[in-house]
Amino acid sequence: MNPVKIIQSRFVPLPAENVDTDQIIPARFLKATTRDGFGKNLFRDWRYENNDDTKPKAGFPLNNPAYSGEILVAGKNFGCGSSREHAAWALQDYGFKAVVSSFYADIFRNNALNNGVLPVQVSDAFLQEIFAQGADTELVIDLEAQTISIPATGKSESFDINSYKKTCLLNGYDDIDYLLSMLPEVEAFEKQPR
C-alpha cells in the first residue's frame, strides 16, 4: 500500500445521503476474481443510462467536466449496506484517495482504510460548507495533523482516526504484516483452556 500523508486536491460533490455500496458498485460487476478495473463501473447506474456506458447521465457529478480531483465529498451514512470491498476498490481504481462525509457505515470505513482510501468524517456544518464551494475549490487533508481545510475560506476542522490505522496509513503498512508477526501469540492463545 502507498503511504498517505497530505491530500491536496479539488473535490467531486455527491450530496446524496445513504449512498449504499450497491450504488457504488452494482452486484453484476462483482464477478471478477482480481482487484483491478472496478473504477470504470463506479456508480455505474447513476453514471450511465440503463446498461449502456455510451450514454452518460448529464446531471451526475462524475460526468460533469467542471468537477475533478482525488476527493469525493458525499452526504451522510456513506457506504451502508453490503460489505463488498469492491466498493473501496472501485473508488480507489477511479482515482479517489479520500472520501469526506459526516457519517460512515462501519464495514465500509474498514474496507476503505484497508485500501488506502481515507474516510474523513466531518461535522454536518463543515460538510455543508464544502458543498457550498465552487468547482475549482481545493481541499487539503493532512493525515499527520488530522485536519481538513478549505484554504480559500480559511475554514478547517479536525477529524478522528484510530492511532493504529493512522500509523499504518502514514507508513503504507498493512494489517496482515502485523498479524503475521502475532502468530506465536495466536498459537499460545489457542492452547489456553477456554
Contact residues toward other proteins (CB under 8 A) are 16-18, 20, 22-23, 26-28, 30-35, 45, 50-51, 76-77, 80-86, 88, 103-107, 110-111, 114-115, 162-165, 174-176, 178-180, 182-183, 185-186, 189-190, 194
Rounded Cα–Cα distance for residues 192 and 173 (Å) = 30
CB atoms within 10 A of CB 57: 14
Cα 128–chain centre separation: 18
Closest approach, Cβ 152 to other proteins, in A, equals 26
Question: Judged by CB, which is closer to other proteins: 19, or 139?
Answer: 19
Closest Cα partner for 17 from 75, 98, 67, 60? 75
Closest approach, Cβ 66 to other proteins, in A, equals 21
Question: Judged by CB, which is closer to other proteins: 5, or 164?
Answer: 164
Closest approach, Cβ 56 to other proteins, in A, equals 16
Question: DSSP of 106-166, one letter per residue?
Answer: HHHHHHHHTTT-EEEE--HHHHHHHHTS-TT-EEEEETTTTEEEETTTTEEEE----HHHH
Question: Judged by CB, which is closer to other proteins: 34, or 54?
Answer: 34
Closest approach, Cβ 22 to other proteins, in A, equals 4
Rounded Cα–Cα distance for residues 91 and 123 (Å) = 22
Question: Judged by CB, which is closer to other proteins: 58, or 65?
Answer: 58
Rounded Cα–Cα distance for residues 96 and 138 (Å) = 14
Question: Judged by CB, which is closer to other proteins: 97, or 109?
Answer: 109
Closest approach, Cβ 186 to other proteins, in A, equals 6
